[in-house]
Amino acid sequence: MVTRGLWNLRVDGKWYRFFHPPRGRITSPDSPATLERIRKVLSETDQADWERVPFPSPLHIDLDYVYNIDKDLGILTVDQWTGDDVLSRMLRRATLTKLEDPTLITIEAALDVVGDVLDQQNADDPNGVISEGLRINIQEPTPLNELQLLFLTDFIYLWRFYFDDMLSWKSTSLLFRTLAIGILRIAAWDFEVRIDTDTTEIPLQFSSVPGWQAPSGDVFWFHGFLITLHGAADTVGEAVVKAQTFLRESPCRRQVTHVIFMSLRHIRLVEISPGSVQCTSSIPLIVNTSAMHPSPGCRVLASILSSYSWKPFCPRGELWSVNLPTEILDKMLNAMMPRDIVSFAQASLEVEKWYYSSIPQLDGLRVRDFDLSIPCCGKRHRPNTEGIYCSTCYTWYNVICMGLSSISSSDTCTCHDCQQHITCNIMETGGIHQTLQLRTSKPARRRPELWLYGRASVPAGEIKYSVFFGGAFTGLAYGFEGE
């Protein structure tokens, strides 16, 4: 039986990877050859045959096993698929000292099953000094928001195996910061789109690595907001202390600072002022259905980062020494390079307004339906129809679809799915795969077509738009039907 997999190795704080190209042929944990291979790796001091990677590669649907050898911590971790009808991930672990036992024939006897050690939700403030009364008004979705939700959903789907590796979601890990900044940049439309540019990096494979630059720390400024990354089990009070410590040393401190607390499971919006701290309740970000439907956290981030519903606003406005007609400004901005226009929008209030009121970089693309942002009917600006958002999942609905005659500015509502607790608010290890029913793409040991070499791949459609973060491919590439 042919099995597929790869090796991750950590030495002196650096990660390395090795697999046999092209498909990653490997032996199983019950094979003596696996134990021999591990002992050989432990005895070696040179990683010349290993590929340097920023973080360990996760278990992929095209693989059966991933072996993580952590020399720094003295731990071996085996990640594998288990089950025949419904696939789930099984994580097992052993200390490297156990593998030195000369009576050991395979690693099976030394491995212990590891459960999901992460809490579902960060704990509340134990001192009760933080108010959860902050309310954010979500504005009617724009055509840009519809595309943002599409990109966010596709982004999570493409990198779902990294998102599913929840044991790597430590707030101090490079992987956590890399995934977090990817979500934030799409929510802020802070990327470059290349037109009619082919790339050899699609489709993404088990060997694909998120290669864009991540923040160097857990607290940083992003589009006027203070982003504070924290672990899923950290209390709100601990995140507040982290943000306040950063602000005391920051020259950019304002009277009221708008902060986004972010773990990959949840976000909270926070306002920190000298006399008080207010925050929203916990808003789910990455959940089991995030690769199919926009999560509440994705809806909130796309709204606040591309509008003034909660963004810090300068009341004095902006004064230009040259009064440009709107038509000239529009032509000038459309002619700019993608990276330049993103920087210009962050530096100028007027350009930022233009940037988020249009669909920049997509060469005149028009959005026809709003199925992700307005799922009730997929239509925007229906005649004589107002709109309202669900106060639980932040989904926008036309009032007529909710069965309401009219609304006032203070009205709130809870949609049917949230009332019936249908909306998914949790993320489980392997949950994305179970929700998407990915066993239609079987594990490698049950896919004999992978045993053949030189197979011609199915030709893909023409690529019209490719999305990049600072020159690094995001995995997002789009074309039109029929091309």
Averaged pLDDT for residues 318-329? 72
Q: Is residue 439 part of a domain?
A: no
What tokens does 202 get? 């699609």
Q: How many CA atoms lie within 13 A of 399 on its CB side?
A: 15
pLDDT band of 451, cuts 50, 70, 90: very low
C-alpha dist (Å) from residue 360 to 216, 298, 406: 28, 20, 34
CA geometry: angle 49, 53, 56, nearest 5 deg: 105
- Report pLDDT digits (tens) over 169-179: 666 689 999 99
Are residues 138 and 101 part of one domain? no
Last residue of a domain, one of 338, 365, 392: 365
C-alpha dist (Å) from residue 77 to 29, 66, 135, 325: 11, 8, 43, 62
Are residues 96 and 48 part of one domain? yes
Q: Is the predicted pLDDT of residue 329 greater than 80, yes or no?
A: no
- What span, in angstroms and rounded, lies between the C-alpha atoms of 165 and 480? 33
Are residues 174 and 87 part of one domain? no
pLDDT band of 441, cuts 50, 70, 90: very low
Q: Is residue 134 part of a domain?
A: yes
Are residues 246 and 150 part of one domain? yes
Q: Which domain holds residue 22?
A: 5-113
Instruction: Reduce the DSSP state of residue 219 to 3 states and report it.
Output: strand
Q: Is the predicted pLDDT of residue 483 greater than 70, yes or no?
A: no
- Report pLDDT digits (tens) over 99-145: 999 999 999 999 999 876 554 445 555 455 577 788 888 888 999 99
Are residues 47 and 159 part of one domain? no
Q: Is the predicted pLDDT of residue 64 greater than 90, yes or no?
A: yes
Averaged pLDDT for residues 255-276? 91
Q: Is residue 461 part of a domain?
A: no
pLDDT band of 24, cuts 50, 70, 90: confident
Last residue of a domain, one of 298, 333, 365: 365
Are residues 270 and 146 part of one domain? yes
Are residues 312 and 239 part of one domain? yes
Q: Is residue 372 part of a domain?
A: no
Q: Is residue 481 part of a domain?
A: no
- What span, in angstroms and rounded, lies between the C-alpha atoms of 142 and 146? 7
Residue percentage of the chain with pLDDT more than 90: 43
What tokens does 417 get? 């799915």
The whole-model pTM stands at: 0.87
Looking at residue 435, what is its pLDDT? 44
Are residues 140 and 18 part of one domain? no
Are residues 143 and 97 part of one domain? no
Residue 423 near residue 293 (C-beta atoms within 8 A): no
Q: Is residue 182 part of a domain?
A: yes
Are residues 246 and 295 part of one domain? yes
Q: Is residue 173 part of a domain?
A: yes
User: What's the structural domain count of the chain?
Assistant: 2
Q: Is residue 475 part of a domain?
A: no
